[in-house]
Structure 1
Amino acid sequence: MLKRLTSLAVSLVLIMGVLAACGSDNKNNGNSATNGTDTGEKQVTINMFTASPEYTEAFNAYIKEYAKVKPNVKINLEIMQADYNTVLKSKISSGNVPDVFQTTAGGDIDTFAEYSADLTEEPLAAAMTESIRTSMTSTDGRVLGLPVKGNLMNMIVNMDLLEEAGITAIPTTTAELDDAITKLEAKGITPFANAYKEWWVWKHEFQHFVNAAAEDANITSQELVNQFIAGTTTFQDHPVLYTNFFNFVDTTVEHGTSKPLERDSNAQVSDFATGQGAFMTGKGAWDEEAIKKITPDINLQIAGYPVSDKSEQATIATGADQALRISKDSPVLEETIEFFNWLYTSDYGKNWFSAVAKVIPPIQDAPLPDLDMPKQMEEILKTAKSGELSVNYSLDTFHQKFGEIMQAYIGGSKTKDKAVEEIQQAWIQFGSSK
């Protein structure tokens, strides 16, 4: 998932050892082979193109470590966030497919299947947790992606502000949320810190309502999403979507930080960390470190969204929504797969996720990071169910359009019914790779 630094393009090339030729097309791809003077092994360069600038330092760390394992392998890391999808498609259409590139997981595994190496029988696939391996698997049963990280998506709550307002428990129903808002505002506390300038935060909120609507319809979230993609159901068929979701959005705008369409991810983190919002919407575990850099002793708690009058539907969505892909036509395919097998199975790799990247490991037998949110998740899921990461059942082309429609809705240029109509049309048009 693209997080934190919207509107910022970070282009970073990390070069280790001797600089290989760059700027060539995929036939060479900067991977000219020469004999290593120290090891006698062929010198190769792996070109990675990713969209996660928040993990730049962490990626650099495992690249540096791998240089000790394989001195003949150099890894060029290029990171971009703004316009990443556009640039990636341009690279692919020109035949300059990076050796490693990033996409969303789930449905987009099929979108880029023709460019992706089959990793089904590799040790790295066996190392993934079962639920995450499913998110990396195509409809024909092949593992075509590598999880960037495990994730959880939830509301983030400042418990000190709730306590100040006399709120003894995090709201889990819409009625409890309304009561909490009243108490917070009575103390002069703004209830919501939003980041509605970002298109991607909308999908993170919306999926919780999709999960509840599916439960009410007695079907899976994937079945419900497939119905929308097929055009066989509507928002009006699901009150949690047609009524509750829009009521929630309206509530967060009315009782949130000012100028919501001007608040990006970084502004939202700052607002929340400095006590200008009791609930942080549209985000997840990846923001904990950024929040604590501003206010180290903040008392955080993760929570599900109050989507209905059923407290059990306030769940936390878990899974993996971002995938790395290895180009099946890479001239350094063998070396690239070997590198990721090392990362996902070695002792260093198992500890890299938690100790260096400080994310929820997507692999088995790896420790959790020393952060509050993952630890809270582990405790919560001992007694409660998790929500599906249902964003994975639609393509990001749909989610981006969805976010743009919702921005127009809260900006006042679209009515609710017009927004609903356009979302349903976008789901049919952009929701599936088929």
Structure 2
Amino acid sequence: MMKKKGMGTVISILLTAAMLLGGCGSAAETQTPAEETKKETVQQEVKESAVEEKAEETDGEVVELTMFGFKTGAEQGALPELIEQFNNENPGIHVTYEGISNSGGYQDVLTSRLASGQGDDIFMAQAYLGQLQEAGYVKDLSGVSTVADYTELVQDLMTIDGQISGLGMEIAVFGMFVNMDLLKECGIEKAPANYQEFLDACKAVTDAGHTAIACSGKDGTGLAVFAATRGLYPLYQDAEKAAKIEQINTGELSFGSYMKDGFILLKDLIDKGYINPEKALVTEAAKDDIAEFVKEDTAFMPGGSWFVSSINEGAPDMNYILTGVPVMDDDSLIMINAGVKLCINSKTEHSAEAEKFIEFMTGKESLDKYVQSQNSFSPLKDGSSTSNAVVDPVAEYLTSGRMISWVDPSFKSPVEPWTIARSYASNIAAGADIDTTVKDMDTDLTNKIKLK
């Protein structure tokens, strides 16, 4: 087992205590220090008891693996169930899971742990995986047996400089949630299919006294969905996409020249009053925006397919769909990612056991369960995608290729489009001038590329 320092305020989610502590995600954030200490003590006792029982069953030592991830609360979906199943089926191995949300600082904590040598055996990663690979923190998983089961598209999205450092658990989708009943109340019969229809719908909704868009911006997420889809889609449709991405990577081509149109659209929505910038900048993604949307007085919300479970909990009778983001003059788009990449720490002392766990988690049976719980799409050739009618409209965009990737390994650090889009979209919401923002973005990237 790889030891790690205590995290104090970190929400610790131990699989062995999941049945006792289920549903405590948000409540844990408001516990007093005494309650938190008591909870951690109980968790540790339950954890140690489970490991001891396993040792008795196997008549030997149990290999204990720790897993760190950004899935917390309702977003965990089938994750606790799958880890428990693995533990039950492998008495010589015991996996415990700890989670911190992305907005709660997951990336910083993960990087700090790995840099200090206190990293977990297994962890989740997203856009920053390329940096972790470059720093030597992740094991190459190209030889894992389940890699061959992934679709060609997903294998490409998982490959960075010829190495696969993380295996995706799903094809996750960012799109636009639409309250269909509210639109009908305002005289609109269908979800907007392009930008002009979107503007018309927003005007009808606000004229009727409702809110047009619930948009997160505390970490830039919702704001960046608008800016990135509009800004980067021309690049993804370019016949010379690969060559141009390489020019962006070397600084020969301005990344800001693509993002500018996205920033113009975002500012247009703000100037028209359809996005409240002050509110957006304090709205946490997958939390505050959902809380606003489920009040059923808001027509639209940019967000991910994994939001569905939380929306259903908050408004079980709402008539809503997840469809494309209507940012183009003649179309709507989605953003995709080979999401929730599972990685193995290159420094783990239990590489074989960790790989066995990764193979279990990325097998068809496990991924089918996980994908259903996330209302997302399978990354496997013969996998089963979500059957939830709410996200049916998104399937059409996947099939027709009307999409961009928000985590694309063709871009090389420090060019990380999703991270950049979130940061600078927030600047636009804070009142920054578009031309100045584009210039600052390119200058910053150029300097980072030179220093690389």
Instruction: Specify whether residues 394 and 191 from structure 1 end up closer, same or farther in structure 2 by C-alpha distance, changes over 3 A only.
Output: farther
3-state DSSP class of the match of 2:322? strand
How many pairs were matched up?
403
Aligned to 1:175: 196
CA deviations 1:270-306 (Å, max 9, x no partner) are: 221222321112x221111111111112222233233
CA contact (8 A) 1:236 1:242 kept: yes
Aligned to 2:424: 405
Instruction: Specify whether residues 223 and 307 from structure 1 end up closer, same or farther in structure 2 by C-alpha distance, changes over 3 A only.
Output: farther
| Separation in 1, partners of 2:86, 2:130 | 27
TM-score (norm 2): 0.78
Letter of the structure 2 residue corresponding to residue 404 of structure 1? S
Aligned to 1:71: 91
| Separation in 2, partners of 1:416, 1:301 | 32
| Separation in 1, partners of 2:415, 2:13 | 26
Aligned to 2:24: none
Aligned to 1:29: none
2:441 alignment partner, one of 393, 410, 423: 423
| Separation in 1, partners of 2:320, 2:275 | 18
Task: Kindly indicate whether residue 397 of structure 2 is the aligned counterpart of residue 376 of structure 1.
Answer: no
3-state DSSP class of the match of 2:141? coil
1:255 alignment partner, one of 256, 274, 279: 274
| Separation in 1, partners of 2:292, 2:223 | 18
Letter of the structure 1 residue corresponding to residue 363 of structure 2? T
Letter of the structure 1 residue corresponding to residue 429 of structure 2? I
Letter of the structure 2 residue corresponding to residue 127 of structure 1? D
Letter of the structure 2 residue corresponding to residue 367 of structure 1? S
Q: CA RMSD in A?
A: 3.3
CA deviations 1:228-278 (Å, max 9, x no partner) are: 34333336755xx42453233431462135722222222211221222321
What are the equivalent positions in structure 2 for 1:109-188 lying under 5 Å apart? 109=130, 111-113=132-134, 114-139=136-161, 141-188=162-209
| Shift, 1:323, TM fit | 1.5
1:86 alignment partner, one of 75, 92, 108: 108
| Shift, 1:74, TM fit | 0.9
Instruction: Specify whether residues 400 and 346 from structure 1 end up closer, same or farther in structure 2 by C-alpha distance, changes over 3 A only.
Output: closer
CA contact (8 A) 1:34 1:43 kept: no
Task: Kindly indicate whether residue 402 of structure 2 is the aligned counterpart of residue 386 of structure 1.
Answer: yes
The answer to which structure has the higher helix fraction is 2
CA deviations 1:360-394 (Å, max 9, x no partner) are: 33233232234234433235545x32312144336
Aligned to 1:19: none
| Separation in 2, partners of 1:364, 1:255 | 40
CA deviations 1:393-412 (Å, max 9, x no partner) are: 36598544543333233222
| Sequence identity (%) | 21
CA contact (8 A) 2:124 2:340 kept: yes
| Separation in 1, partners of 2:217, 2:72 | 20
CA contact (8 A) 2:169 2:370 kept: no
Letter of the structure 2 residue corresponding to residue 271 of structure 1? E
3-state DSSP class of the match of 1:298? coil
Mean alpha-carbon deviation: is it higher for 193-202 or for 355-364? 355-364
| Separation in 1, partners of 2:86, 2:67 | 14
CA deviations 1:291-335 (Å, max 9, x no partner) are: 111111222223323333232xx2222331431210233111101
| Separation in 2, partners of 1:274, 1:35 | 46
CA contact (8 A) 1:156 1:302 kept: yes
Letter of the structure 2 residue corresponding to residue 121 of structure 1? G
Instruction: Specify whether residues 431 and 62 from structure 1 end up closer, same or farther in structure 2 by C-alpha distance, changes over 3 A only.
Output: farther
Instruction: Specify whether residues 198 and 179 from structure 1 end up closer, same or farther in structure 2 by C-alpha distance, changes over 3 A only.
Output: same
3-state DSSP class of the match of 2:65? strand
Q: Structure 2: which 5+ runs fail to align?
A: 1-8, 18-43, 45-50
| Separation in 2, partners of 1:236, 1:364 | 36
Q: Structure 1: which 5+ runs fail to align?
A: 1-7, 17-22, 24-31
Aligned to 2:71: 52
3-state DSSP class of the match of 2:269? helix
CA deviations 1:178-226 (Å, max 9, x no partner) are: 2222222232232211112233334433331233231575432x55444
CA deviations 1:52-92 (Å, max 9, x no partner) are: 21444632211211122111211121212322222222212
| Separation in 1, partners of 2:107, 2:371 | 28
Letter of the structure 2 residue corresponding to residue 135 of structure 1? L
